[in-house]
Amino acid sequence: MQAVEKTTASLTFDGVVTLARDDMSAVDRLISTSLESDVALVSQVSQYIVASGGKRLRPLLVLLAARALGYDGEQHVRSAAIIEFIHTATLLHDDVVDGSARRRGKDTANTVFGNQASVLVGDFLYSRAFQMMVDIDSMRVMQILADATNTIAAGEVMQLMAVHDPDTTEEAYRQVIYRKTARLFEAGAQIAAVLAGRDPGDESAMITYGQNLGTAFQLIDDALDFKASADELGKNLGDDLAEGKATLPLIYAMQKGSTDDRELIRNAILEGGLDRLEKITAIIESTGALQYTAARAQEAADTAITALSDIPDSVYKQALVAIADFSVQRRS
């Protein structure tokens, strides 16, 4: 297997987005028409959350992977919209479960419209996604998306069970981020291979790419919760700690910190809140927890890039490499 040569120095994230501009415009049009409903509140909440910003990394992945694999049809656009709807539905439900007030620098939908509306519109988006799956007319694609959606739901429950649990291990944490985050990235990349009719080897490669890309993305996301500014992050700094979530920076800091440090973090996870945020951030920095988390993210990104080795070279393949690099270099 040949190593993938990185030739992405001049390919910025904006350049990647530009490369997929026409396909993404088609996705945006499909999302807009698919959100139409004769129930006014459904349309209002759906449009609010979809228009709230974000990098649209998951649908972008589907579009670029399909092109990199030589697909020249139109179902990658529908698949990308479905992936975005599933992701958006999980955000609506997550923010209710977590009691989040801010996301992407804006008030969350549950803050604006209430918890009941957010949960029910999340259900609408899930059901709309499954309606759109039928239109693709591929049992393989439906199976991948149905399995992914079920895995994500199980991951939500696993995370809920781990809240306020300071004894969460790194392995248990990784299981949660795989199910909650990486699984949808994995599904998007795999669907691209299925649509393109690629052989099992290429399909396996795309599964590996998507899974590790999603892992790298979430690891950096959890590190940013303790180092980015609120404006950069688009949410309140320390939100994970406030919710009692034992993410990797906290898990590692407890392993490497002093007895007093460990006890301080344990109590903060048990109780939630941000009373000790400044002290805990200092412990995280002194123990090298952010560097450790970043290193694990880099390992995942490198694995994702290596998985592309046997995919024919093209500007779309180089864009996939650039996205993996971006996942560990981003500041928000």
- Give 72-105 as a DSSP string: -SSHHHHHHHHHHHHHHHHHHHHHHHHT--EETT
Helix axes 75-98, 40-50, angle to 10 degrees: 100
- What confidence score (pLDDT) does residue 236 get? 65
Residue 98 half-sphere exposure, CB side, CA atoms within 13 Å? Answer: 24
User: Are 49 and 109 a contacting pair, CB within 8 Å?
Assistant: yes
Alpha helices in 163-199 (DSSP H): 170-177, 183-195
Phi/psi for 176 (5° steps) reads -65, -45
- What confidence score (pLDDT) does residue 110 get? 83
Compute the distance between CA of residue 329 and CA of residue 103 in angstroms, rounded to an integer.
20
- Give 251-314 as a DSSP string: HHHHHHS-HHHHHHHHHHHHH-SSTTHHHHHHHHHHTTHHHHHHHHHHHHHHHHHHHTTTSPP-
Contacts of range 26-35, beta carbons closer than 8 Å, 24 or more positions apart: 26/74, 26/77, 27/56, 27/59, 27/63, 27/77, 27/80, 27/81, 27/84, 30/77, 30/78, 30/81, 31/81, 31/84, 31/85, 34/81, 34/85, 34/128, 34/132, 35/128
53 pLDDT more than 80: no
Which among 151, 135, 157, 138 is positioned nearest to 187, based on CA atoms? 151
Residue type, 24: M
CATH 1.10.600.10 fits 13-329, yes or no: yes
Beta-bridge partners for 78: none
Mean pLDDT of 282-298: 97
Give me the numbers of helices (H) and strands (E) for the chain, helices first please: 18, 2
- Does the reported pTM lie above 0.85? yes
Look at the block and give the residue holding tokens 């997550």: 94
332 pLDDT more than 90: no
- What confidence score (pLDDT) does residue 269 get? 95
pLDDT tens digits, one per residue of 221-235:
999 999 855 555 455
46 pLDDT more than 90: no
DSSP state of 331: -
Compute the distance between CA of residue 252 and CA of residue 11 in angstroms, rounded to an integer.
34
pLDDT tens digits, one per residue of 58-95:
999 999 999 999 999 999 999 999 999 999 999 888 88
Mean pLDDT of 205-215: 98
- What confidence score (pLDDT) does residue 7 get? 46
- What confidence score (pLDDT) does residue 98 get? 77
Tokens of 267: 């109590």
3 pLDDT more than 80: no
pLDDT tens digits, one per residue of 130-187:
999 999 999 999 999 999 999 999 999 999 999 999 999 999 999 999 999 999 999 9
User: Are 228 and 332 a contacting pair, CB within 8 Å?
Assistant: yes
Average pLDDT, the chain: 90
Compute the distance between CA of residue 128 and CA of residue 81 in angstroms, rounded to an integer.
10
